[in-house]
Structure 1
Amino acid sequence: MLNVLFVCTGNICRSPMAEGMLRAQADLWGIGDRLRVDSAGTTRWHEGEEPTREAQIAAASRGYYLGDLRSRPVTSADFDNFDWIICMTREHQKALRDRRRSADQAQILLATAFSPYLGAIDIEDPWGLGQAAYDGALDQLEQCCADILVRVRASVAA
């Protein structure tokens, strides 16, 4: 089983969209039972809140359900409980690398690093920018998740 944690700032936009999407796509690829997916934020600003309305609309328009997700912050246990911690920006990646203890097992990765089509760019925060920004972030996340699943399938098959 591979354990994947998506991370953004507040855990109400990008990371829950990625979580819902990767779960759904993994099920379609027939590997959902070999993958555990969660999401968290680098802050507690929105702890306990559901994803934004715009995130839910963007996700639902492509068949992904986010309604049962609630925001939570990254915890120290996450560094041991997840194999891959996948960050939306280089700033998130740096913040988590600074918090990680040397014995922690998690690899802290940039979401777009999985995708040769996107390169190592940040997935910008759509919060407060309107539905089109959420749809654009979801476009990037769909590409990332497809490329992540290629690696996941190879990892869980090994």
Structure 2
Amino acid sequence: MSSGAPRFGILAVCTANICRSPLIEVLLRAQLDSSRFEVASAGVQGWDRKPMDSMAAMELQRLGHSAEGFRSQAINSYFVDSSDLILTATRAHRSDVLGLNPQALRRSFTLVEFAALSSIVSADSPAELVAQAALRRSLAPAEVDIGDPYRRGPEVHRATADQIAEAVATITARLNALVGAEAVQG
């Protein structure tokens, strides 16, 4: 892949873009090659320019990353239209995304749903992984929502962060393997 090739865009979405989707964004960005992937996050009721929730930021720090410089933003049609993969915290957030652009269905999944599907479908590229996951969506587990930890105790924030970290690790391992395979083939 040449250095001028477009990057694969990933958008993480939750309610206010201060707890779950920033965790997803930072963990994805840390584990994916920035020359191949572009990662952002937004909230369906996004607060403009707010820092990450302090409890979520502490969990991010526990996982070895910083929330320094993060500012929340509201989702808009541009974010949806320019993303190759949209990962939401819940099915309701996915519905909100589809309200902005129904055509985004084939590239919109909950984080847990896409992690499960990315482990079982065959693909030769990130774009093909998204396409194959969309075709086999019915194979995803029944429970794919990540609960909202906002204004809840430390144990809820820890469980949420661990759930997100596990799903992100599964997804990034698969995406990294696919871009590695592309490089070998190209």
Length-normalised TM-score, structure 1: 0.87
| Separation in structure 2 between the aligned mates of residue 124 and residue 156 of structure 1, nearest angstrom | 31
How far residue 4 of structure 1 moved from its aligned partner, in angstroms, is 0.5
- For residues 62-105 of structure 1, the C-alpha deviation after alignment (integer angstroms, 9 at most, x for no partner) is 11111211110111111221111110001001121122154x69
Among 33, 37, 40, the alignment partner of 1:38 is: 40
Would the alpha carbon gap of residues 123 and 105 (structure 1) be closer, same or farther in structure 2, given more than 3 Å must change?
closer
Please give the secondary structure, in 2, of the residue aligned with 1:115.
helix
Gaps of 5+ in 1: none
Do the aligned partners of residues 21 and 144 (structure 1) sit closer, same or farther apart at CA in structure 2, a change above 3 Å counting?
Answer: same
Identity of aligned residues (%): 29
Q: Does 1 or 2 have the higher relative contact order (CA < 8 Å, sep 6+)?
A: 1
User: 2:145 aligns to what?
Assistant: 122
Per the alignment, residue 143 of structure 1 pairs with 166
Mapping 1:66-81, distance limit 5 Å: 66-81=67-82
Equivalent residues of 1:51, 1:70 under 8 A apart = yes
Offset, 1:150: 2.9
Give the whole-Å Cα distance in 1 for the aligned partners of 2:105 and 2:114: 19
Deviation at 1:61, TM superposition (A): 1.1
1:136 and 1:42 map into 2 onto residues whose CA distance is 23
Could you list the per-position Cα deviations for residues 102-156 of structure 1 after superposition, in whole angstroms to 9, with x for gaps in the alignment? 4x69711110013339934210000010221111111111111011113322453
RMSD between aligned alpha carbons?
2.1
> How many residue pairs are counted as aligned between the two chains?
152
Out of 7, 18, 21, the position equivalent to 1:12 is 18
Stretches of structure 2 lacking an aligned partner (at least 5 in a row) = 1-6, 120-139
